[in-house]
Chains A and B, each alone.
Chain A
């Protein structure tokens, strides 16, 4: 059936190849723009326009009502660069990222190896490791706020300690890190698991014939084959962690944490905009943050390109 269809099609295609190309190009010109139009409309309204508006607002002293804003040049940026609280907030977000990214990458890899190598009940391991990711951030945050509360919290009780997780500056960020690990490791775990399952069997078989033991197979086959996915996991985690907000505010009752120690950059920006009503200043910080995120994303693209050039 398939063969006959192909033999019938082949000459037809040869005959009209040129005609098809013209038709295709014409069709494309007619409709191409329409395919993209609905998305572009939304994209311009809710991404590009806010971005441009953010740039404009950042040069004014606008308040939340949007009336009576006057142009003040780069004053907001100048103020921001001298705002110790902003640098602190940026530091907290960066510190959180530095703690979370390596932990989550290693943990996700180990969990994936475990789930991949146990022969029975794969669905059960997948379910258990992934299920926290399905909870809303606020639910996971409330849950760990409760677990970490001194006295009534299960965490201290289980380990027989009495650590002031949420009220002491030296532990608060650590509590948020532990919560984030539990809550989000499942996503990276699934990525690793899929990548592990994508490694062709014959590589291992060949290595075994050559007498490689399990450790050698992991170092020389598994890890190199997982390089791409590790790059992806790290990149996604860095971008997500820099945008820390939900779990931190929920665990700290919408406050900045003990001695302001958990106030993230996003939180500080939103406080400036919605609590102090300084929309201009908050916009300037948003733009600064956008630049930081863009630099990180471009750095990744640059690294990827270099690696491809070096690898091939």
Chain B
């Protein structure tokens, strides 16, 4: 009796040390997992199948899952009619620039706030914390008029630079740099290294996981950013993927098969990245999240 109880509770417990045999509770949990996963994947699967239908079939009532006639016409039409390649390049340029600038700028600032002294530091830090509450959604109109004044409406600069001052990323790195043992730096100071050298050769390599997390999240946020590019660009040639799909493709009168194909094109790069870098991304979310805790 006791033995049975113990085995059951061990099976229910979490940490897999080795491959365990299928127990009833594991079978139930796995089936549940499969069912829930199916619910989560179903909309994407539906989009994929629809993108492989003809426009007429995609609009049929009632709808059906699998195409009766498989055709790539929606995907072909996308390439020939849309500015899709343009949008793709724009998205890539904007996201890569934003990610690079954010990484450099917030690593420097995080370190500066965590480890150096200068006049007015606490006031500036308070200012940065208040910046956590500002986003294009909150201050859209004044931000737009500012960018307009600078003459950056409908330019790459106008899309990129306002995304490059994320207080949250500075805060995450600030928290991390505070945890770096001072002894490491002091040893290098004794050897005659200056601030910048210590920063570049000791602190930055230590911070690689945090920087990866910040980089990955900045890239995702920037690739998927809709609101700011939507406000600051009207020129279809300058639009990013999410923006172009939502405004230009919808304004033709919705062609569902094409719209689904376009959506998959916009989503695919990040999904592929996720499949390859899953471990780092999950660690990154954990890391960023736990820093905010």
Contact = CB atoms under 8 A, between A and B. Distances in A.
Interface string A140-184: 011110110001111001000000000000000000000000100
Nearest to B242: A136
Contacts of A302: none
B185 to A, nearest CB: 8
A255 B64 CA distance: 29
B145 A279 contact: yes
Interface residues of B, number: 113
A192 B172 CA distance: 18
B212 interface: no
Nearest to A144: B43
Nearest to A297: B133
Contacts of B37: 124-125, 128-129
Nearest to B187: A9
Nearest to A294: B133
Contact of B141 (A49, A116, A282, A293): A282
A38 B105 contact: yes
Contact of B131 (A43, A115, A197): A43
Interface string A21-44: 001110111111111101110110
A294 B135 CA distance: 12
Interface of A is mostly: helix
A232 B9 contact: no
A145 B147 CA distance: 32
B33 A125 contact: yes
B227 interface: yes
A47 B131 contact: yes
Nearest to A48: B127
B216 to A, nearest CB: 11
Interface of A: 9, 12-13, 16, 20, 23-25, 27-36, 38-40, 42-43, 45-51, 53-54, 57, 62, 64, 66, 111, 114-121, 123-132, 134-139, 141-144, 146-147, 151-154, 157, 182, 187, 190-191, 193-198, 201, 204, 208, 213-214, 228-229, 231-232, 236, 239, 243, 245-246, 250, 253-254, 266, 269-270, 272-274, 279, 282-283, 286, 289-290, 293-294, 297
30 contacts: A13-B183, A16-B190, A20-B189, A23-B189, A31-B195, A32-B112, A35-B199, A36-B108, A38-B104, A38-B105, A39-B106, A39-B109, A43-B128, A47-B134, A53-B146, A118-B33, A125-B33, A131-B40, A136-B267, A154-B43, A195-B290, A197-B286, A198-B286, A201-B15, A229-B290, A231-B293, A269-B140, A270-B231, A273-B140, A279-B145
